[in-house]
């Protein structure tokens, strides 16, 4: 069975461009593992393609990804899972909030309502400058929620957020939005496999 660190080494071998952020990826894993091991939950937010990444990443943790992890509910077959919750859902809420309130505060509202101390917020923004993501990070820090930033270019405002710096920020070494997104995918695939083997390595 491949270990978490072996998964990380395999990622770096496949994507040498990610060498500069290897330690940040490991830090993100450590934060996520600690929270989940202590019954925390992981929330994700992002816009556009990053919103799709939130849904994608959550799906990999809410069911089997690379390891089969079956369990049962009576005669029904279920799968062991980790609580990854994409804040990009809640369609009725988001449309009502955009219509009735300041659209920039949509994710901050959900963070203040749903997240608790010991949870983790994954904030995905390719530019690092999305207002609603920055406000969500600010809300998370005020509620003692750990924050992992996943961004690109120079990290944008997220990397310079003096009052509420993310606990870990992974800056994909690319400039164009689509190239940043192309690196985000293998990063969160790797983190998914690292977490899966850590929590479910004994499952078949």
Three-class DSSP category at 99: helix
Q: Tell me how crowded residue 72 is: count the other CB atoms within 10 A of its CB.
A: 8
What is the reported pLDDT for 126?
Answer: 98
For 29-80, how does the pLDDT look when each residue is reduced to its tens digit (9 = 90+)? 999 999 999 999 999 999 999 999 999 999 999 999 999 999 999 999 999 9
Structure tokens at 126: 């390719």
Which structure tokens are listed for 71?
A: 């369990």
Cα atoms in the 13 Å half-sphere on the side-chain side of 44:
26
Which residue reads 């406000």 in tokens?
Answer: 135
Which residues of the chain register pLDDT less than 50? 203-204
pLDDT score recorded for residue 202: 62
- pLDDT of res. 82: 98
**What's the CA gap between 37 and 160, in Å, rounded?**
30
Domain ranges of the chain: 4-200
Ranges assigned E (strand) in the chain: 42-45, 70-73, 76-79, 84-86, 120-124, 146-152, 168-172
Q: How many helices (H) and strands (E) would you count in the chain?
A: 8, 7
Q: Does domain 4-200 have CATH number 3.40.50.10490?
A: yes
Question: How much is the pLDDT for 204?
Answer: 43
CA atoms of 70 and 112, how far apart (whole Å)? 34
Per-residue tokens: 127: 């530019």
pLDDT score, position 17: 98
Sole residue written with tokens 């040498």: 16
43 DSSP β-pair partners: 85, 121
């Amino acid at each position: 069975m491949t270990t978490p660190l072996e998964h990380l080494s395999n990622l770096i071998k496949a994507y040498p461009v990610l060498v500069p952020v290897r330690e940040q990826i490991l830090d993100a894993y450590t934060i996520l593992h600690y929270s989940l091991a202590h019954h925390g939950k992981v929330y994700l937010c992002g816009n556009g393609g990053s919103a799709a990444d939130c849904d994608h990443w959550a799906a990999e943790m809410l069911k089997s990804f690379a390891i089969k992890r079956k369990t049962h509910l009576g005669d029904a077959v279920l799968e062991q899972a980790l609580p990854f919750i994409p804040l990009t859902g809640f369609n009725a809420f988001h449309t009502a909030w955009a219509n009735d309130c300041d659209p920039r505060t949509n994710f901050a509202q959900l963070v203040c309502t749903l997240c608790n101390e010991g949870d983790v917020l994954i904030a995905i923004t390719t530019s690092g400058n999305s207002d609603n993501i920055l406000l969500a990070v600010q809300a998370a820090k005020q509620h003692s929620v750990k924050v992992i930033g996943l961004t690109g270019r120079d990290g944008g405002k997220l990397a310079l957020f003096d009052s509420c710096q993310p606990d870990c920020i992974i800056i994909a070494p690319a400039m164009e939005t689509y190239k940043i997104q192309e690196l985000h995918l293998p990063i969160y695939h790797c983190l998914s496999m690292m977490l899966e083997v850590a929590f479910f390595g004994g499952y078949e």
